[in-house]
Amino acid sequence: MSSSCRRPEHMAPPEVFYNEQEAKKYSQNSRMIEIQTQMSERAVELLSLPEDQPCYLLDVGCGSGLSGDYLSEAGHYWVGVDISTAMLDVALQRDVEGDLLLGDMGEGLPFRPGMFDGCISISALQWLCNADKKTHSPPKRLYRFFSTLYSSLARGARAVFQIYPENSEQLELITAQAMKAGFTGGMVVDYPNSSKAKKFFLCLFAGVSGVLPKGLCSESTDRGVSNQAQFTAQRSRFKNMKGKSVKKSKDWIMEKKERRRRQGKDVRADTKYTARHRKPRF
Amino acid sequence: MKLLTHNMLTSHVKGVTKGYPLIIKATEVKVNELEFNAQFVSRMIPKLEWSALIQAAEWLGQSQDLPSALIPDYENDEEFLRKVHRILLEVEVIEGCLQCPESGREFPISKGVPNMLLNEGE
């Protein structure tokens, strides 16, 4: 995503982070364009749309239209929603074919029921997991988004979200709200063993129980390792088999810090050094 | 904002029950040219709210020879499909606003992009 920091959603709300400077970077950085196009391609593949048929799709967090351009190339018509005017301005300059809307996905989608044949979202959903204003409640915003998305989709349509989850709790929060809104589906993980190439795609089905597509993996990995997590209406939790995170792991440390924050205790801010492995004599 | 999108948009303010269709008050309208795809147009027609489309076309002064009710067997009528294609995808509202029919709340349109951001408490 951004070259200057690992988690941009910790720096500022999306409409502030994606200012003119950042928006310009997005449209000119060839590596950025390549990655976004690849992820859009994979997301459309996971949508499993009927072949040779132009569809009406929704692009949530369309930004400067990089993913939208891919949709247009594939012959589809699309509507994009984004919260940043700077990014949408870049999209207008790039003369994208889709129709653009300035909106906050956490406020719900303003559409009539059953309109879209599918929905994609590239690197956007994780922004909903942070409370940028005092009045924000991430679970409520996630639910409002998912429930309005569920109604906006036609029966049997899919929604594919490429996300950068911070930890398993965030993943759990997202999937819980999606299930509550009526979606079924699961996570597809591509290249689970490569920290650089690993990509998470949340695949949701509206109204019809579908077969979850397989995640991609490189040839040398052990094929026996499962790289999907499927969920249905049954409550399931994304945790270690024993029910808790492995003691002293990064996940465990982050969870403990979160617990102490909730208790109101003074906790050091999270940085890139948090839970870093120290030498034994430390 | 194309009229295809307008046909899908409603007001998502809390408490509003009849936020559709949004009234268009356009100050600048543009007509582009877009490649005609008969398959897409005939697939979208059943999803459209036809009366809302006709009304929107009238507000923009673009309602030339569109029938007020949907004709049966439209899939094979290419002329009709081309007219629908034009009104759905080629006519664009660049400046203006959308007004909620129930509450009167306005969503401004600037550079062709409607601003659907809600205020605190909506």
pLDDT tens for each residue of B56-102: 998 888 877 788 888 888 888 888 899 899 999 999 999 999 999 99
| CB B120 within 8 Å of CB B32 | no
Residues written for chain B? 122
pLDDT (average), residues A72-97:
94
Does position A4 have pLDDT exceeding 80, yes or no? no
- Is the backbone of residue B118 left (phi > 0), alpha (psi -120 to 50) or beta? beta
Does position A237 have pLDDT exceeding 60, yes or no? no
For an interface test with A, which of B113, B119, B120, B122 has the most A Cβ atoms less than 10 Å from its Cβ? B113
Q: Using an 8 Å CB-CB cutoff, list chain B residues near A115.
A: 8, 47
Does position A2 have pLDDT exceeding 50, yes or no? no
Instruction: Determine whether the interchain pair A110/B12 forms a contact, defined as Cβ–Cβ distance below 8 Å.
Output: yes
Q: Residue A8 corresponds to which tokens in the numbers above?
A: 């941009």
The C-alpha of B43 sits at a distance from chain A's nearest C-alpha, in angstroms, of 9
**Maximum distance among all alpha carbons in chain B?**
49
pLDDT of res. A107: 92
SS3 per residue for chain A: CCCCCCCHHHCCCHHHHCCHHHHHHHHHCHHHHHHHHHHHHHHHHHHCCCCCCCCEEEEECCCCCHHHHHHHHCCCEEEEEECCHHHHHHHHHCCCCCEEEECCHHHCCCECCCCEEEEEEECCHHHHHCCCCCCCCHHHHHHHHHHHHHHHEEEEEEEEEEECCCCHHHHHHHHHHHHHCCCEEEEEEECCCCCCCCEEEEEEECCCCCCCCCCCCCCCCCCCCCCEEEECCCCCCCCCCCCCCCCCCHHHHHHHHHHHHHCCCCCCCCCCCCCCCCCCCC
Q: Which residue has the higher pLDDT, A234 or B115?
A: B115
- Is the backbone of residue A75 left (phi > 0), alpha (psi -120 to 50) or beta? left
| CB A111 within 8 Å of CB B9 | yes
Q: Residue A128 corresponds to which tokens in the numbers above?
A: 């909903």
Q: Using an 8 Å CB-CB cutoff, list chain B residues near A89.
A: 111
Predicted TM-score of the model (pTM): 0.80
Give the integer Cα–Cα distance in Å for B19 and B12. 7
pLDDT (average), residues A44-54:
91
pLDDT (average), residues A100-116:
94
Average pLDDT of chain A?
85
Q: Taking an 8 Å Cβ-Cβ cutoff, which residues of chain B contact chain A?
A: 1-2, 4-5, 8-12, 20, 34, 37, 39-40, 43-44, 47, 49, 89, 111-118, 120, 122
Instruction: Determine whether the interchain pair A92/B120 forms a contact, defined as Cβ–Cβ distance below 8 Å.
Output: no
As for the ipTM of the complex, it is 0.92
Which range scores top for mean pLDDT: A27-36, A72-81, B64-73, B74-83?
A72-81
In eight-state DSSP terms, residue B89 is I
pLDDT (average), residues A140-155:
94
Q: Residue A109 corresponds to which tokens in the numbers above?
A: 């989608």
Instruction: Determine whether the interchain pair B118/A107 forms a contact, defined as Cβ–Cβ distance below 8 Å.
Output: yes
CA angle A136, A204, A159 (to 5 degrees): 80
Does position A239 have pLDDT exceeding 60, yes or no? no
Does position A1 have pLDDT exceeding 50, yes or no? no
Q: Using an 8 Å CB-CB cutoff, list chain B residues near A101.
A: 5, 113-114, 116
Q: Using an 8 Å CB-CB cutoff, list chain B residues near A104.
A: 117-118
pLDDT of res. A251: 84
pLDDT of res. A240: 53
For an interface test with A, which of B1, B5, B22 has the most A Cβ atoms less than 10 Å from its Cβ? B5
Does position A220 have pLDDT exceeding 70, yes or no? no
pLDDT of res. A57: 96
* Nearest residue, CB atoms, B39 vs list A54, A79, A101: A54
Does position A78 have pLDDT exceeding 90, yes or no? yes
pLDDT tens for each residue of B2-54: 999 999 999 988 888 888 899 999 999 999 999 999 999 999 999 999 999 99
pLDDT of res. A224: 38
Residue whose C-alpha is closest to residue A159's, from A50, A46, A274: A46
> Which helix (H) or strand (E) covers residue B53, if one does?
helix B50-59
